[in-house]
Structure 1
């Protein structure tokens, strides 16, 4: 038996009563997030991967960076995701880590753990897919920038949905896009691909009808994933033809 406000209740009665209790949800569905564990976990993985890059003399970069030829010829599709956890310099990882630290917790609390990591990974994949179409097949690309640009787009969409002032976010995005195209050695495909993917996903999740929110959000995530897979299959066929 368990103590109750008045008298005692059997464990079975407590369990049955809990089924009727409405659990708190985040702004756009999902469980309420008190601590953004996913954001901290991704930050930790990025830092650990960078340490391994340094210790192995960049061998990990070669083996797991985004390389169009490796994906098409050797079927190394994992590179499209693993590249997002690697970085080319101390400045590179510091910038992406700081950006994730700023916007990650807000988005994780808005969407919940699962939808947030889906947003992050699909944005990273979107950047790699655009690179798969337009990058030089010999180029090796690394960085979480595609995922970060996806988060930038998402925080803009969420702010608009909640009627916040998003002019600062818009300026931030524009400045980073200018840097992308002005300075050499930056993957514009990764940034643009992540930005577009993040915007589409965030809009679908933020504006999902409340009555069928979970279904709509799930279908949106699945639909974007399948669209990206289709683009990869088509591009592979073109490269190998």
Structure 2
């Protein structure tokens, strides 16, 4: 720690800028500081070193379930909304559902030769449409950010805007993001197993239903209005099964996955081992999902 010097006149100088005279001192260490080194504090000013030390030693606030409390609980949801919007624009700009980008991102269990089912990939040429069973495993996740209709995108993003900040405030940013992505992946895994081999599936609905499932678990844990959430889920499931063309597989898989993930996060025992328990539980879900995906690939091979 450096000591301030005092010129012959007895006027102290800033400990970081010895050529600057000052009469202001840091409220923590009592060293002279110039205007450029002053940092506002509850009482008076602090020097940069004391501010940095306080930041290192101050324990960050935690959410109810162990995550770091976000300063703005809407940021992650807005970033996810931005990613979905960006993918929507990119796909439209590359030819929509008939473009090559769409074919690479959409989820199809098995690939096929467009216009001629059963033709091997090597004999198909540029008309080959890849599927997960052919090695396009990225489709299991990229399809959860893919939309081709504005109404579909709008409903999903509205639900994310409504549910996301509430869950992030309870879980923390990292846990919320894990919930969103893993729910989408479990939804895609159920699609991979239960949807027709050549059917295209897309949309963030699996992740959104995962948020519905998480809200139900959290509400039950804290003694909230479970009935209202059950009604909301029931209405959405009715629409899922009543209207043709909606992927019930993705919705149901996301709902069950989100509920399981939330149960691990909110029922983890309190204490220093809670984060380890939560991490292990999420890894177990990811591993089981990966095993299910590999098993389905073996069946389709």
Equivalent residue for 1:61, pick from 102, 123, 132: 102
Q: Which residue of 2 aligns with 1:222?
A: 283
Alignment of 1:102-141 (within 5 A): 102-141=162-201
1:3 aligns with 26
1:25 aligns with 2:86: no
Q: Where does residue 260 of structure 2 map in the other structure?
A: 200
Structure whose residues are more often helix by fraction: 1
| 1:37 has 2:37 as partner | no
Runs of 4 or more above 2 Å deviation = 1-22, 70-74
Q: Is the contact made by 2:187 and 2:250 (CA closer than 8 Å) also made in structure 1?
A: yes
Structure 1 residue 22: deviation in Å?
Answer: 2.5
Q: TM-score, length-normalised on structure 2?
A: 0.75
Superposition TM-score, scaled by structure 1 size? 0.93
Larger Rg, first or second structure (1 or 2): 2
Given that 2:92 and 2:148 are in contact with CA atoms closer than 8 Å, whether structure 1 keeps it comes out as no
Measured after TM superposition, the shift of residue 87 of structure 1 is 1.2
> How far apart are 1:55 and its partner, in Å?
1.7
CA contact (8 A) 1:34 1:109 kept: no
Deviations 1:127-182 (A, max 9, x none): 10001101111111110000000001101111221222122211110000001111
Distance in 1, Cα, partners of 2:217 & 2:190:
21
SS class of match (1:140)? coil
Kept in 2, the 8 Å contact 1:129–1:232? The answer is: yes
Structure 1 pair 27–217 and aligned structure 2 pair: CA distance change class (3 A):
same
Q: Which moved more, 1:162-171 or 1:80-89?
A: 162-171
Structure-1 separation of matches of 2:258 and 2:86: 25
Cα distance in 1 for residues equivalent to 2:92 and 2:50? 57
* Number of equivalences: 240
Asked whether 1:158 is paired with 2:208, we answer: no
Distance change (3 Å), C-alpha of 1:73 and 1:206: closer
SS at match of 1:25: coil
**Is the deviation greater in 11-20 or in 197-206?**
11-20
Note the residue ranges of structure 2 that are not aligned, 5 or more in a row. 1-14, 16-24, 32-45, 111-129
1:189 matched to which residue of 2? 249
User: What is the DSSP-based 3-state SS (H/G/I as helix, E as strand, rest coil) of the residue aligned with 1:3?
Assistant: coil
Deviation at 1:194, TM superposition (A): 0.3
Match of 2:82, SS?
helix
Q: CA deviation at 1:15?
A: 5.9
**Residues 120 and 147 in structure 1, CA contact (< 8 A), matched pair in contact too:** yes
Distance 1:17 1:138 in 2: 58
> Which structure would you say has the larger RCO, counting Cα contacts within 8 Å and 6 or more residues apart?
1
Q: CA deviation at 1:48?
A: 1.3
